[in-house]
């Protein structure tokens, strides 16, 4: 059987966010084995059966190297960037070469990631009503309860269609929870056509 490889990248410059770690933990929860391929912990190979994922934390200091390698991403996930990064033409080039871009549309400058003639499939998430994926409710008590709302059809990387639906999630953790990180990894799982109903988000956080 032919081995398939997806290339997934994360754009996140703010050090207080932990989306890259949550992504790794989500894939482990989905049954993937994980192996670092550099000493800097920003490149990982994940494997399950005959499916591989190359997971890359796209920091500004390795952006040029990634472009020089000619890597084309299947999925790029954007959470937050320092404003100056948005103006980099090379970042736009990287995004334009990807199949999907998952964007935090609550960020003021996110539109600058996109070229005028971009053919990449854009999926937005955030608290705003126009986002492809947002929250229909949130209750922050001892146990955080949120309803994630997929507001419009999403075509997965396998070509199937995810119809609009709501996904209830409970998070029982003492760790600081970043809702944007949760939305972004859920969006990634949906694009990959994964069944997310049985994933324990609390275990991912702890």
Q: Report in angstroms the alpha-carbon separations of 104 from 25, 33, 124, 155, 159.
A: 21, 28, 6, 18, 23
**pLDDT for the residue 17:** 60
Is residue 16 pLDDT above 60, yes or no?
no
DSSP codes, 117-178: T--SEEEEESSSTTSSEEEEEEEESSSEEEEEEE-S-EE-TTS-EEPPEEEEEEE--SSPP-
* Model pLDDT, residue 1: 47
Q: Do residues 41 and 205 lie in contact, with contact meaning Cβ atoms separated by under 8 Å?
A: no
| Mean pLDDT of the 147-162 span | 94
CATH of domain 4-205: 3.40.1190.10
Question: Taking residues 172-200, what's their average pLDDT?
Answer: 86
For residues 172-197, give the mean pLDDT: 87
**Entry pTM:** 0.91
Q: Residue 84: what pLDDT?
A: 66
């Amino acid at each position: 059987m032919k081995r398939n490889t997806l290339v997934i990248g994360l754009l996140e410059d703010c050090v207080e966010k932990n989306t890259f770690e949550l992504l790794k933990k989500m894939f482990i929860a989905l049954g993937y084995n994980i192996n670092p391929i550099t000493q800097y912990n920003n490149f990982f190979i994940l494997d399950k059966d005959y499916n591989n994922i190359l997971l890359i934390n796209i920091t500004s200091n390795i952006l040029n190297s990634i472009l020089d390698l000619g890597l084309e991403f299947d999925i790029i996930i954007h959470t937050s960037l320092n404003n100056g990064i948005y103006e980099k033409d090379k970042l736009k080039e990287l995004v334009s070469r990807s199949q999907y871009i998952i964007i935090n549309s609550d960020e003021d400058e996110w539109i600058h990631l996109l070229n005028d003639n971009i053919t990449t499939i854009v999926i937005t998430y955030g608290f705003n009503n126009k986002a492809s994926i947002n929250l229909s409710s949130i209750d922050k008590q001892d146990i955080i309860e949120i309803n994630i709302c997929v507001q419009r059809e999403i075509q997965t990387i396998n070509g199937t269609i995810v119809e609009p639906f709501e996904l209830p999630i409970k998070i029982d953790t003492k760790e600081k929870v970043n809702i944007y990180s949760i939305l972004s990894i859920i969006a990634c799982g949906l694009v990959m056509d994964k069944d997310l109903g049985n994933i324990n988000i609390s275990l991912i956080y702890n």
